[in-house]
Amino acid sequence: MALQIALLAEDTLVGTHCPESYVKVEFVRAFKGESLLWVNWYADATARADMKQPVKQREYTAPTADLVGANIIAASYTWLKALPEFANAIDILTTPEPTVIAPPAPEIAAPPMPVDGMLN
């Protein structure tokens, strides 16, 4: 679950225009009256899947009463989409698989076999 929205170069940490930035609610810390939402923007969905650094970060304070429901993260996206800066955001329901290939597991050598009760 995420949002997609165009991000202008002057609004990024890296000075690059991101026409398909991937907006991810990274975590929510809920308190009795207000909740803290930590939101990261990535260049695109592939950058997020490949664990690249965010191009923008921002904290939001939302009334906890606005985030009620079975899934506080889903409610956070609904709350964000009500803000003017997310008026043109598109819902993204899945995150693509990483394109970075994991390194192979290290090869572990078998211990030496005893010869006539002794190790060589």
What does the pLDDT look like over 87-112, one tens digit per residue?
999 998 876 666 766 677 788 777 77
Higher per-residue confidence, 67 vs 98: 67
Neighbours of 76 (CB within 10 A): 24
For residue 13, the one-letter residue type is L
Quote the CA–CA distance of 115 and 73 in Å, as a whole number.
61
Q: Residue 119: is its pLDDT beyond 60?
A: no
Neighbours of 55 (CB within 10 A): 23
